[in-house]
Structure 1
């Protein structure tokens, strides 16, 4: 591979001239696609912005930069997706297709845009409306070959990026920009694998039966399709132009190349997906620090009660997906925990990961953070991202007696998107929907012949922190720097996993040359994430995740979801879900039933262990039947996973699953983003009016535009404030605007489509400025600085649409709070704490209350003073202070600060769109018939 060159300095005219000399590529002859049986009768819809086409040649990229042009189908789903925000109140059934694609199987002959046959046993038809590939094979091999070929056509550059991300090698591939380094470091920390370990996952699958062997055959055929496209695209110069711009291929001579894909690349890609969306737990050190700070503040017994109330592990007021009384006990905090290993206060030091840094790689963290942006967001893994949602209603309550579902994953907004759309039809496969780029040999979320399915990230606790005693093999004194540990009485060396990265200078991001070595240490108790002392003795704090070294295992469950012979009813759907070890909530709808299943490898823990705190690394406290050689253990049986068939309705927005199914981490209390869905769907079901695809879509979109703080906490705030007359004219005027906004539904909606101005703009700005000041003013005096700071480390204060409202004083902000333009909002915040505390002050009944009052010490008058004082501070902040501006928006532009930006993963950018708190990929389905 040649070194990257300073390609952006080449004259645009010279590049265009050279590329034009290659001549045009002939278009294939259109033809219709073969399809499987379709029982949806045109009532299945979907949308995935910005567009299906993620392949821009160098000429396309240069045209986009010079003239704003884009290749066909690059952003054609963005307009309909955005348009629903303004149109949803008056939505009709006939208008649904104005905002969603027709997700029927096949392509009518008059809607065929192109047809290609990369082999004689497969046909790829793309439709005129969206350019989605409809892959039909006469053999299993040909079908999967076509899926790989189509994936490379649409997402080759993104696939290449993520196979390097999954190996911790992004900087060497795409340049040493600060964000690239940050991202590869976070993934290397979560899943550091040698090539042999990636291969071991493949070898393990091969021994798991016929379905597993078929899955490997499918993956190999898929790779063959990818690699054939790479060869053809290289010879015809139709490959993504990012390879030119990063120096992997010379734009004039065509020297260079694209490395072929292999099976271990797919495992690396799967590890990225698993780390992003399919894990849970791991916050035990942060939880321990909150507990210690609470006990230091209030004493051991009272402090422990404060910590437990803030943790809200099984809060009785938390919104739940299963609301019919089913109980699924898991990961509950025991009354008398055993084996807890609390770190000595102030002793915890994060594990060093960067060694031998030179050049750009030797910058300090602060310098690097201010550096050039990378091809991917540096905080893609480390930031807390809201994920996905689902709304399903039983046919007992619908307009035609058949269930309705509106559901989809929130995977962030990127250009090209991380997901792609496809239809796959072949022997044993019949599905249409979305799949992660590079793993699209099966549809992962979508529809089959007579059923639809989707998922939300569940995040139940499958990751534990162990305090592993350090030791030395030569009898020298044990220190935090010791790299051996005790395992069942033996002193063993920690495994050292290395990744050496170096990068050449680039003009694309003004990055100088540099290099470093990424190092992770691993024990039989998992990866070392920090060091410290317990009882004065040096320990390594490790992270043990049940899905580590098993990210590829879920291939079998996804295969089943695509197989019409395997999934045909709720029970078979739940069986497919059980074969997926990622922590997901799975939802299903056919013509007669809706169903739910929570997947994941839930380890069976030793009796009395609290999984919410660090655990002593001793045999008595290990996972039952734990085998470190294979990272396997005894897992809870399928009957103990939350599940249900035909509940009146289901909602999920990454909320708590069921009674006694303890939440991992903090933030599942009385106010959660899931309330926005639950309140609306419950009202629909209980209204007596039959639910339709339109009304359920309206419920989703209403929630998508609503400020959670405004709907569920502002009423408490206003009751406290108006418990006495507000005499200050400025405060009274602000209170009136907030009351008006509340009456208008506390939404963040444009005054009219395209106006780029919010209705109730002043009230929204007041709430944005007020919330972090409220949290500080209400809680810091009672918690004290150490506990307040520890709590912000466990649960961020705010996740507003624009980001940036992180508080006025140190200790109130989190890096996660300041992510702009990401769309997802209101999952993580102190909403529940304010709600419970204020209701307590007002004398309302509170189930699962905080252990002590905070606002004004529980006195209504004193609390009212705190609220008015912080409101006054909020009103003093100018629009430019509340919305400080960035490279995409001028300071003070409220609408722009909220806007969703498809963060570019390549050379083509897309327009901003109005804010919505909504899945990235979304389906609307209602099956009228069944096999």
Structure 2
């Protein structure tokens, strides 16, 4: 029998090349290359011939999985850097410039094989454990094989220490800060700034208690997890002892794993807890419009369960903002009264409230069920956006041993299991869901003996008694003692006034003190136990952090939205702070069947880009989903897509300006109701029109440091003016400014929340189009489309005049700077073109057995 022709895979053919040579081989058109013109032509011919041969022989070829992955800048994360530190950067960057024109051969060029085999030249990593074999391939990806499960875990720990030594040293103790929820302290910034944190004995006791929780919750399976963790830690410590000694002279422990788990969850797996911001906005709206209309406008601006919001499943799941009955347990706060506490300044040191930093989420997955794909196979394009760092907080590896055979990425410190990846028969990935696992409680302050309370009071009323607050000593941060006050609900994060009386604000998290339990879901996924959608749902439901899970097997695709989601008491609006007097405590947690989940999805597609999970299901009080969301850029689907077409859809959306393609056409329709104020503004609008019709590309194809389309420069300058113009007539300048602190105006990337939906829904209403869930007020031009059109032209005229003053009178020469991705915190100089694409990504086509 003749052999089956295959696409040429140069990652297999390479051996012994340096990192620089490897990178040069894959650099896309326009980048600096080291291959001659003739060699490039020959390479293109070989790939084309091989691809044609593959297509011609597809009818007789045996089905095989196609699985590849990528992680920039590279898999090694130490200092000094080596060849494996940045060798995946040009591959990742190369795909960006293709936009929606990705071929099957491009998948081979710009992704690495994910088929349980080393790539190219290999070397064996020596260890003192004879039962483990660690093979590093040409990209520095470890393939770990253990004769026993204990040896496999040991090898995983050894690799973790070798490849992420720097992160282990920087993140080991700040992970405790994530567990503690220290008011005013961002645990992740402690790592990136290398700020030392020395946890207290009280903090360590809180972490240590999680071992017992694992055993009580999962019994024998929990015992296995703790044995895995002990073997893993032994591998870490052995590596350090043989390479310069343990950091601080202290061995790593199982508790470090719990701390790192909390660290990951605090960044990507939590939602809610900003009700105080919403309360201040509602108070301001009430003052402007009166209580009745103010509440209706508040409901509109929150975009909690907009009927036009794109969702991953069409199945309805009930978890709305109101818990039933008259609202008696939720309160507004006096306008401007909130003061947030920064524990670094003292346990009750408060400052005027500013918006907490918005969480920028851009993970995505696109799943195609077998019945929908051209090949009849399951297709998966998946990845989390974890930010671009060096060292990256995840790394690639293969684990192979008794009961485990998986490949993908593990998080630094959690390398005993896969965070995201594949087994032989299924793959999975995560996107942040931002579900409502944190609530702010309003604690009425009191003084023992009946004295008048002040903001500095440390007693509060609970179940009819004046109780003292607790005081938690966290440890030393940068040499300074850190402590904070607590109530029965959690850390005190601020103070405020309620109808003139001082109150404290405490924040409760459903996953507090339970972070390590999340490892049980990753353990089961790594062990290959999620073999059916039903088993997958049960495993994903173990994950108490809030994530959207996308799962693909040989026969099906499925979706589950996880999180330990509280059932609230009746009489509450989940978007507002809750009275902490004891009458409105949580009543348990949602069951598996109450979580959004689905199999195959609408039309055989399951799509998620951190969008709303399901109709009727409200996420966190700080999430705002409206009629426009970036997941809508996953459009233009062929009737029967191939894998490269799915990657093309993802890649085009990653370099598309949401404002240009999803919002501008509606703005333009309103502008048509009035005349341009001058020729310059008319020309500027024409440039945006052309750019929008061409797909709103954000690329710098000629590498001159500027985005190619001058329409992007117009949009960047005009969008904040357009957005505020739409709402200002009704809200006024002060309320518009306040709203921007609750819901950011938004930019090209479409990160999380934005004002795109305000503009879209209001202007479509003025145009007389079909609108579900119309706003209580018509905002732009106070409901008069002619006035609105003239005001929008005025906003564009201001933008055009500014650009002319800054860049000259010829609009065709206006350009926006092309942003570059830089790797935080600046340990390497390398950069990439900006793209709204997951950091890590795998592309998989599962063939049936």
TM-score calculated relative to the size of structure 2:
0.86
Following TM superposition, by how much is the alpha carbon of 1:500 offset from its aligned partner in structure 2, in angstroms?
A: 4.5
Following TM superposition, by how much is the alpha carbon of 1:854 offset from its aligned partner in structure 2, in angstroms?
A: 1.7
Q: Which residue of 1 aligns with 2:616?
A: 660
Q: Which residue of 1 aligns with 2:779?
A: 854
Q: Hey, what's the Cα distance between the residues in 2 that align with 1:121 and 1:876? A: 71
CA offset digits 1:785-823 (Å, max 9, x no partner): 34223211211112345xxxxxxxxxxxxxxxxxxxxxx
Structure 1 alignment gaps of length 5 or more? 1-38, 61-69, 171-175, 240-247, 249-256, 370-378, 504-514, 625-633, 802-824, 883-891
Sort the Cα spacing of 1:900 and 1:471 in 2 relative to 1 into closer, same or farther, 3 A. same
Q: Which residue of 2 aligns with 1:140?
A: 149
Q: Residue 581 of structure 2 is aligned with which of 593, 610, 618?
A: 618
1:547 aligns with 2:497: no
Q: Residue 830 of structure 1 is aligned with which of 737, 741, 755?
A: 755
Sort the Cα spacing of 1:783 and 1:725 in 2 relative to 1 into closer, same or farther, 3 A. closer
Q: Which residue of 1 aligns with 2:564?
A: 601
1:55 aligns with 2:65: no
Q: Residue 202 of structure 1 is aligned with which of 195, 202, 211?
A: 211
Q: Hey, what's the Cα distance between the residues in 2 that align with 1:187 and 1:317? A: 47
User: What SS class does the counterpart of residue 397 from structure 1 fall into?
Assistant: coil
Sort the Cα spacing of 1:880 and 1:433 in 2 relative to 1 into closer, same or farther, 3 A. farther
Sort the Cα spacing of 1:863 and 1:331 in 2 relative to 1 into closer, same or farther, 3 A. closer
User: What SS class does the counterpart of residue 282 from structure 1 fall into?
Assistant: coil
Q: Which residue of 2 aligns with 1:24?
A: none
The more displaced of 515-524 and 401-410 is 515-524
Q: Hey, what's the Cα distance between the residues in 2 that align with 1:925 and 1:410? A: 18
Sort the Cα spacing of 1:583 and 1:231 in 2 relative to 1 into closer, same or farther, 3 A. same
Indicate if the aligned counterparts of 1:334 and 1:608 stay in contact, CA closer than 8 A. Answer: yes
Q: Which residue of 1 aligns with 2:59?
A: none
User: What SS class does the counterpart of residue 263 from structure 2 fall into?
Assistant: helix
Structure 2 alignment gaps of length 5 or more? 1-61, 180-184, 808-813
Following TM superposition, by how much is the alpha carbon of 1:207 offset from its aligned partner in structure 2, in angstroms?
A: 2.3
Over aligned residues, Cα RMSD in angstroms?
3.0
Q: Which residue of 1 aligns with 2:121?
A: 111
Q: Which residue of 1 aligns with 2:481?
A: 517
Q: Hey, what's the Cα distance between the residues in 2 that align with 1:843 and 1:177? A: 46
Q: Residue 919 of structure 1 is aligned with which of 835, 838, 844?
A: 838
The more displaced of 392-401 and 158-167 is 158-167
User: What SS class does the counterpart of residue 434 from structure 1 fall into?
Assistant: strand
Q: Hey, what's the Cα distance between the residues in 2 that align with 1:191 and 1:315? A: 45
Indicate if the aligned counterparts of 1:165 and 1:184 stay in contact, CA closer than 8 A. Answer: no
Q: Which residue of 1 aligns with 2:461?
A: 486
Q: Hey, what's the Cα distance between the residues in 1 that align with 2:785 and 2:474? A: 58
Q: Hey, what's the Cα distance between the residues in 2 that align with 1:423 and 1:178? A: 29
Q: Hey, what's the Cα distance between the residues in 1 that align with 2:200 and 2:632? A: 34
Q: Hey, what's the Cα distance between the residues in 1 that align with 2:368 and 2:201? A: 42
1:303 aligns with 2:294: yes
User: What SS class does the counterpart of residue 876 from structure 1 fall into?
Assistant: helix
Q: Residue 543 of structure 2 is aligned with which of 580, 593, 598?
A: 580
Following TM superposition, by how much is the alpha carbon of 1:267 offset from its aligned partner in structure 2, in angstroms?
A: 1.7
Indicate if the aligned counterparts of 1:328 and 1:642 stay in contact, CA closer than 8 A. Answer: no
CA offset digits 1:435-492 (Å, max 9, x no partner): 2101111001000111000011111111111111222335443211111222222332
Q: Which residue of 1 aligns with 2:39?
A: none
Indicate if the aligned counterparts of 2:362 and 2:837 stay in contact, CA closer than 8 A. Answer: no
Indicate if the aligned counterparts of 2:188 and 2:267 stay in contact, CA closer than 8 A. Answer: no
Indicate if the aligned counterparts of 1:387 and 1:653 stay in contact, CA closer than 8 A. Answer: yes
The more displaced of 42-51 and 160-169 is 160-169
Indicate if the aligned counterparts of 2:178 and 2:259 stay in contact, CA closer than 8 A. Answer: no
Sort the Cα spacing of 1:275 and 1:436 in 2 relative to 1 into closer, same or farther, 3 A. same
Indicate if the aligned counterparts of 1:168 and 1:187 stay in contact, CA closer than 8 A. Answer: no
Q: Which residue of 2 aligns with 1:708?
A: 658
Q: Which residue of 2 aligns with 1:410?
A: 385
Sort the Cα spacing of 1:182 and 1:465 in 2 relative to 1 into closer, same or farther, 3 A. farther
User: What SS class does the counterpart of residue 549 from structure 2 fall into?
Assistant: strand
Following TM superposition, by how much is the alpha carbon of 1:518 offset from its aligned partner in structure 2, in angstroms?
A: 2.7
Following TM superposition, by how much is the alpha carbon of 1:330 offset from its aligned partner in structure 2, in angstroms?
A: 4.8
Q: Hey, what's the Cα distance between the residues in 2 that align with 1:399 and 1:414? A: 37
Q: Which residue of 2 aligns with 1:448?
A: 423
Following TM superposition, by how much is the alpha carbon of 1:326 offset from its aligned partner in structure 2, in angstroms?
A: 3.5
Q: Residue 649 of structure 1 is aligned with which of 605, 612, 617?
A: 605
Sort the Cα spacing of 1:169 and 1:459 in 2 relative to 1 into closer, same or farther, 3 A. closer
Q: Which residue of 2 aligns with 1:780?
A: 728
Following TM superposition, by how much is the alpha carbon of 1:918 offset from its aligned partner in structure 2, in angstroms?
A: 0.6
Following TM superposition, by how much is the alpha carbon of 1:385 offset from its aligned partner in structure 2, in angstroms?
A: 1.4
Following TM superposition, by how much is the alpha carbon of 1:169 offset from its aligned partner in structure 2, in angstroms?
A: 10
1:314 aligns with 2:277: no
Q: Residue 77 of structure 1 is aligned with which of 85, 88, 110?
A: 88
Q: Hey, what's the Cα distance between the residues in 1 that align with 2:409 and 2:191? A: 28
Q: Which residue of 1 aligns with 2:339?
A: 349
Q: How many residues align?
A: 770
Sort the Cα spacing of 1:541 and 1:742 in 2 relative to 1 into closer, same or farther, 3 A. same
TM-score calculated relative to the size of structure 1:
0.78
Q: Hey, what's the Cα distance between the residues in 2 that align with 1:348 and 1:218? A: 46
